[in-house]
Amino acid sequence: MNPSRPTRHQDPKDDAEPRPGVPNGLLLKLELHSDPRLLCAVRGALERLTELLGLSAEQTRAVTRAVDEALTNIMRHSYLGKLDGPIEIIFSRVQRPASTGPSEGLEILVCDHGPAVDPAKLQGRHLDDIKPGGLGLHLIHQSMDSVEYRRARGTNLFRLVKYFDSVRHIPNP
């Protein structure tokens, strides 16, 4: 394992585990720079991936919106508009351990090497405060079933999980 590269977040307290039979549950891994022009490529890849998994159009829009907002926040706040900051996105299939409701889902781990983020600042502004911008975190929380942030070995790890009623099986190559 290369310590300078972000790795898939595994924590015993996670509410999701990799799906058995799929190595680490990994579906797709993207590496990009913090250039906003690349957001459309990520959206396209994510839309295709969610289509392969059998997500509804509404679910696809919600997940795509959340990832787009997370990446935009990293580009704007973590890398301060610099176009060369490394970002890694890891898409994995996960299972929610013994619970009611949908059990299979999609985990999206967004990793960057910007400065540490104060978790207290990961609160969206009050919705009563009407002005442009600042609603990204609200949209992310509204769109996803689980949203977590942590920092490990100089890497910001932003973990998003969305559970679905039925997820199609994507065979291993």
Tokens for 33, please give them: 């720079």
Mean pLDDT estimate for the chain: 80
In this prediction, residue 19 carries a pLDDT of 39
pLDDT beyond 60 at 8: no
Residue 132 lies in a domain: yes
What's the predicted TM-score (pTM) here? 0.77
- Average pLDDT (143-168) is 89
Residue 24 lies in a domain: no
Better pLDDT: 78 or 128? 78
Identify whether the C-beta of residue 81 lies closer than 8 Å to the C-beta of residue 75. yes
How confident is residue 103, by pLDDT bands cut at 50, 70 and 90?
confident
Residue 3 lies in a domain: no
Residue 81 lies in a domain: yes
pLDDT beyond 80 at 172: no
Better pLDDT: 163 or 12? 163
* Rounded Cα–Cα distance for residues 43 and 41 (Å): 5
Residue 45 lies in a domain: yes
Residue 23 lies in a domain: no
Beta carbons within 8 Å of 48's beta carbon, 6+ residues apart: none
Residue 150 lies in a domain: yes
| DSSP 8-state code for residue 7 | -
Better pLDDT: 130 or 71? 71
How confident is residue 71, by pLDDT bands cut at 50, 70 and 90?
very high
Pick the most confident of 79-88, 111-120, 159-168.
79-88
Domain count across the chain: 1
Q: Which CATH number fits the domain that encloses residue 132?
A: 3.30.565.10
Identify whether the C-beta of residue 29 lies closer than 8 Å to the C-beta of residue 89. yes
Range of the domain at 113: 36-164
Residue 110 lies in a domain: yes
Compute φ and ψ for 47, nearest 5 degrees: -60, -40
In this prediction, residue 134 carries a pLDDT of 57
Beta carbons within 8 Å of 25's beta carbon, 6+ residues apart: 17, 18, 19, 92, 93, 94, 107
Torsion of CA 136, 125, 148, 106, to 10 degrees: -30
